[in-house]
């Protein structure tokens, strides 16, 4: 297992390095000049030269990429002399639009995206797995057909439509909840939950529908396995057969998609955060696209890649504990 983990960690490092190189090439080799965007519309040619030198854009592309990688692990300075800007470890670049290191911007926004992703994930797991397992155990019944029709209908609704309808109906129409405005969990847990409830529901409705169909199919296949019939023949209680033997093996495919979905959401839900006005990583990414703030775009892309790769690694490790048949 230790050798396996070492191989996977080396693979993760290689993947992140490749993603960094590709993303860096895309955003720093495009015709748009990051220095011109940072300098502004009234920038003089002399000032543009100074900004390019401060951002390190006057060097060759391999030299820029090497400096960027070095900055991630050791920090770096932008410019020289008294006007130099220091970007501490881990330096993912410096945003001249915000006049802040990219990592500082991400660190400010990550709690919002974490709160949104984790709360929505717990909600969609409860709803999706509950509906899927119930449908599988009552295959062909009216309950099964009703739950699957509801899941198909819910999955067909785009998240922006669901979000707008929730705001219109719950906030503006009924006045049951305030308009979402992020409050830190440590400041006021009740306000934190009430402000995030609608975004949680908007995301959970979409994902729960997909998890319901996936878990239903997986449970139907698992409950038809010979070892399930053996467990029933031994006289084990139906609850034990379903939960301990059926769900434990049947949920293995769910782990895979859950790792991908949660990893992606941890790096920000662009549409949901924009509609509800949540200052998360997704909203930061959207604003960076509008402003052509390339250091922030690159930083968010690398962060998203890290979360997805790390989630996949964690899922592979959990496989060994969920299903002993895949242990290394």
Measured between alpha carbons, how far is 250 from 220 in angstroms, rounded to an integer? 8
Q: What is the DSSP string of 39-86?
A: H-TT--HHHHHHHHHHHTTTS-HHHHHHHHHHHHHH-EEES-GGG-EE
Measured between alpha carbons, how far is 25 from 185 in angstroms, rounded to an integer? 39
The pTM of this model reads 0.85
pLDDT tens digits, the chain, 328 residues: what are they? Answer: 678 778 888 888 888 888 888 888 877 666 677 777 777 777 888 888 888 887 778 888 888 888 888 888 888 888 777 767 888 888 888 888 888 899 999 999 999 999 999 999 999 999 999 999 999 989 889 999 999 898 888 888 888 899 999 999 998 888 888 888 888 888 899 999 988 999 999 999 889 988 998 899 988 988 888 888 888 888 888 888 888 878 877 787 888 888 888 888 887 788 899 899 899 999 999 998 888 788 898 899 888 888 888 888 888 888 777 766 665 5
Q: What local confidence, expressed as pLDDT, does residue 122 receive? A: 93
pLDDT tens for 16-37 read 888 888 888 877 666 677 777 7
pLDDT tens for 57-115 read 888 888 888 888 888 888 888 877 776 788 888 888 888 888 889 999 999 999 999 99
Angle subtended at Cα 51 by Cα 25 and Cα 72, rounded to the nearest 5 degrees: 50
């Amino acid at each position: 297992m230790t050798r396996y983990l070492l191989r996977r960690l080396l693979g993760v490092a290689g993947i992140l390095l490749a993603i960094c190189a590709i993303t860096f090439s895309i955003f720093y080799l495009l015709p748009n000049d990051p220095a011109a965007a940072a300098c502004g519309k009234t920038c003089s040619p002399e000032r543009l030269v100074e900004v390019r030198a401060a951002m390190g854009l006057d060097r060759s592309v391999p030299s820029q990429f090497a400096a960027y990688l070095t900055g991630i692990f050791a920090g770096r300075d932008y410019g020289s002399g008294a006007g130099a800007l220091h970007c501490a470890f881990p330096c993912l670049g410096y945003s001249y639009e915000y006049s802040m290191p990219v990592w500082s911007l991400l660190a400010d926004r990550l709690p919002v995206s974490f709160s949104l992703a984790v709360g929505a994930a717990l909600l969609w797991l409860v709803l999706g797995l509950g509906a899927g397992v119930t449908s599988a155990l009552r295959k062909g019944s009216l309950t099964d057909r009703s739950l699957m029709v509801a899941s198909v209908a819910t999955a067909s609704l785009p998240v922006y439509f669901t979000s707008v309808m929730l705001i219109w109906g719950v906030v503006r129409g009924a006045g049951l909840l305030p308009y979402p405005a992020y409050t830190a969990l440590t400041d006021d847990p009740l306000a934190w939950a009430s402000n995030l409830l609608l975004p949680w529901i908007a995301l959970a409705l979409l994902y729960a529908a997909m998890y319901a169909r996936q878990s239903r199919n997986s449970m139907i296949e698992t409950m038809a396995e010979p070892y399930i019939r053996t467990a029933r023949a031994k006289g084990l209680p139906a609850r034990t057969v379903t939960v301990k033997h059926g769900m434990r093996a049947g949920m293995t495919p769910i782990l895979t998609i859950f790792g991908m979905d949660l990893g992606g959401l941890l790096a920000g839900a662009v549409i949901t955060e924009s509609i509800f006005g949540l200052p998360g990583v997704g909203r930061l990414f959207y604003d960076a696209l509008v402003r052509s703030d390339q250091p922030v775009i690159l930083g968010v892309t690398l962060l998203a890649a890290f979360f997805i790769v790390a989630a996949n690694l964690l899922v592979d490790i959990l496989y060994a504990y969920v299903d002993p048949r895949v242990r290394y």
